[in-house]
Structure 1
């Protein structure tokens, strides 16, 4: 059985260079509109879908992304494996700007987001096992692809997902560090849980674009983040091509 991959692009990845687009589909969902059209085509010799999480151009803040519509539409379009690209801040020692992390755990600090498909007109209450939020086999493929290119990577870690759109305070980062978080971002949840609810394989390729608050001298500069994104997305493309062509 052929695997159909979908890539969800985050901040800095509103399009996928090298994707030969065959179709751009706007799928109507019971949960409202998706962030952007689902692009389908060939990438690295394989059929793949691409969706820009924040829209194209980048305009939807993390707390207003329609995660339910995005995940539902990708499943409807035929995806069964999702690679999520996340731009994150680093908390763990040794994780520097430009490094990758392939997290294996997540802590959800968000609030008020539509975080489940199982809430209206249910025949019975539904729970999912979310002990291990990321697909183990897809994680292994991402880790192998990063290693093949020699890119620095933390092969496990805890993703702390905050509400946004503001960046965190120093005290909040200290709390996340005490909780065991290695990286911090704003889009990891409820995306991962929604994929699990629909039975989709899901893994994150997180690119460090800045030290988290208090982890470096001075304030966090958006210019520095943009520069890190510009350089890092070329590496993201190489990793994705390796995974898809394997």
Structure 2
């Protein structure tokens, strides 16, 4: 995918971060850039700052006030904005519900696979094959180097980190029924989220390495073997994320210098 990049070198970055639920700002002392893309405007202006000697671009995927529900995020514009700024790797923290009893709220999962259960989302940059067929491989949607950086950062910051897992991505904004949650669990999937697809696929098309890390906020629709575990509520998700936002920031700050090529 070849498109014009930003020419102003002060507005370049090598690492990108997509902010999820509750993470709407990231670094102090930033510059802001408003970008247009062939697919429209990103969710918000991109802020650019530094972690050590690494230039980092930050974009809250839901907008600065979480005004965009997951099925209305302009994923193509968000990913292309990062590409235009010169970003080679995106780290993408996200809130997730656990589907397995051994993955608990407050823990992190550095996912290595995804299952797409969304519908109606623009999920490719290739709306036409004017330059010939363009079929990317998504066999391994998450970059090994980005995963390694996140896992090392988890050990460094002392959070409980699960190495590997499959995220099933649903359309939202509603949460799952008990039957859906039981189906996802029986398939062996680990966490459920509403935004990792098409982010990961678009990053692959754009030539950007992608690393996703889940902050587990709940047990989705509950656990069959534990009736005391209630189905998730919006309040629970935001409370857990708000309580753990400092740990998310610390994890990202520790991971960024370890990303290959930063």
TM over 0.5: yes
1:157 equivalent to 2:165? Answer yes
Shift, 1:175, TM fit: 1.3
1:52 equivalent to 2:60? Answer yes
Runs (4 or more) in structure 1 with deviation over 4 Å come to none
1:146 equivalent to 2:154? Answer yes
Shift, 1:58, TM fit: 1.0
Query: Deviation digits for residues 103-141 of structure 1, max 9, x if unmatched?
Result: 000000000100001122523221011110000011011
- Structure 1 SS opposite 2:210: strand
1:240 equivalent to 2:249? Answer no
- Structure 2 SS opposite 1:20: coil
Q: CA RMSD in A?
A: 1.6
Structure 2, gaps ≥5 residues long: 1-11
Separation in 1, partners of 2:166, 2:39: 29
> Which of residues 173, 176, 190 is equivalent to 1:168?
176
- Structure 1 SS opposite 2:196: coil
Shift, 1:233, TM fit: 1.2
- Structure 2 SS opposite 1:42: strand
Query: Deviation digits for residues 170-215 of structure 1, max 9, x if unmatched?
Result: 1111111222210000000000000000110001011001111122
Query: Deviation digits for residues 41-77 of structure 1, max 9, x if unmatched?
Result: 1235531100010000110000000000000111001
Separation in 2, partners of 1:245, 1:123: 37
1:220 equivalent to 2:232? Answer yes
Separation in 2, partners of 1:46, 1:121: 36
User: 2:215 aligns to what?
Assistant: 207
- Structure 2 SS opposite 1:47: strand
What does 1:1-246 align with in structure 2 at a 5 Å threshold?
Answer: 4-16=14-26, 18-21=27-30, 23-120=31-128, 122-215=130-223, 217-246=229-258
Aligned residues: 243
Change (3 A) 1:211 1:155: same
Shift, 1:3, TM fit: 7.9
Structure 1, gaps ≥5 residues long: none
Separation in 2, partners of 1:91, 1:44: 37
Separation in 1, partners of 2:105, 2:229: 14
Change (3 A) 1:165 1:214: same
Indicate if the aligned counterparts of 1:35 and 1:52 stay in contact, CA closer than 8 A: yes
Separation in 1, partners of 2:92, 2:107: 16
Separation in 2, partners of 1:109, 1:19: 36
